[in-house]
Amino acid sequence: MTAHTQSDTLLAEVTRGGRVESRHYGAAVVMDASGKTVFATGDVETPIYPRSTVKALLALPLLTEGAADKYALPPEALALACASHQGEPAHVAVAADMLARTGWDYGVLECGTHWPLDARATRALAAAGQEACALHNCCSGKHAGFICLACATGQDPAHYSRPEHPIMQTMARMLTDVTDVPHTDANRGTDGCAIPTWAIPLSALALGFARFATGTGLSADRAAAAARLRDAMTAAPFMIAGTDQFDTLVMQDLAPRVLTKMGAEGVMIAALPEKGLGIAIKCRDGGVRAAEVAAAALIARFGREDAPVLNHFMRRPLKNWNGTVVGELRAARELAGDRLPEGL
């Protein structure tokens, strides 16, 4: 097989002993809410599955349809509805509380069960002689939100995760409005937690989050809903992910100016309300570590942010099991520009 041309760009590198060990390629785009492309690199048009990056958009109907107010959902709950959480006790408690407000318990959830993504939380659960349940699933907050939405709108939640259920039909229409691209059976797949996921261009995903960031280009009720969700993410960044996680660490320091959300298979969005921008990234090989690194670089550049947390994620030492520094994980120089911190 001969050399091939690939239109993606270098996002991040792993080094060991001063030598490049691995490389991640992908695409990234920065849009403003008017639809102007502020920056693009790599293939930003081939449709990708946004996965969990769209969770904040999926939470908009919770506000616009009155579910958040009917059940007096606090900021932690609104944030958890936007989350891929680590299954730590605080996350589980909020998810359970959301459901309790509707009268349903976790048996109604259709996301499936897995042990907490947080290793310590898993060990603590096991040490306590307990088993994981659907509440520990990283999407349980989103799914609890679907239950709140169904109950608030007088719908039977049974099979709420199926594409034909009115809840998912609502999601498809809303996503189509917000991103300006179709969400139909033609581009639909199934996500890890059972609900549909629709493949769309990275540019459309970024546009959606430029609109979420600013309210520009959204209906008045969705703009107000987005503002409440931005506030919730800012008030409760721990809910969005958890201990030591990128989204939580970045938002703990930089929200409300910077809001981020990772998605499986190396997808990432960032919303920069003051700059009126949405950023979307896809690491083509699915590498989460590279999407985080690239996000830090683009947030630093286009958010004009000079923050330790971003510097950390743009370039950080890698340690072995003894805590010895053996290399680093760093943004591609071209991507980070003059924002790339000095090497160690």
Q: Is 276 in the site for its own copies (CB under 8 A)?
A: no
- Closest CB to its own copies among residues 1, 220: 1
Stretch of 21-29, 165-173, 233-241, 302-310 contacting its own copies, by CB under 8 A: 21-29
- Smallest separation, CB 52 to its own copies (Å): 13
Q: How many CA atoms lie within 13 A of 48 on its CB side?
A: 31
Residue 6, burial from CB neighbour count under 10 angstroms (0-12, 13-18, 19+): exposed
Q: How many CA atoms lie within 13 A of 18 on its CB side?
A: 0
Residue matched to tokens 């169904």? 150
**Peptide bond just before 196 cis, omega within 30 deg:** no
Q: Determine the Cα angle at 124 with ends 118 and 127, to 5°.
A: 140
Integer Cα distance of 199 and 108 in angstroms: 27
Residue of 213, 239, 327, 330 that binds its own copies (CB under 8 A): 327
- Closest CB to its own copies among residues 82, 290: 290
- Smallest separation, CB 203 to its own copies (Å): 15
Q: Is 321 in the site for its own copies (CB under 8 A)?
A: yes
Tokens of 305: 């942010």
95-124 positions binding its own copies, by CB under 8 A: 110-115, 119, 122-124
Integer Cα distance of 288 and 182 in angstroms: 26
Q: Is 72 in the site for its own copies (CB under 8 A)?
A: no
Tokens of 267: 């997808």
Integer Cα distance of 216 and 129 in angstroms: 50
Residue of 96, 133, 194, 224 that binds its own copies (CB under 8 A): 194
Residue of 29, 44, 48, 83 that binds its own copies (CB under 8 A): 48
Q: Is 244 in the site for its own copies (CB under 8 A)?
A: no
Site for its own copies, rule CB under 8 A: 1, 3-10, 14, 16-19, 21-25, 41-42, 47-49, 110-115, 119, 122-124, 126-127, 129, 137, 187-194, 197, 199, 265-266, 283-287, 290, 320-324, 326-327, 334-335
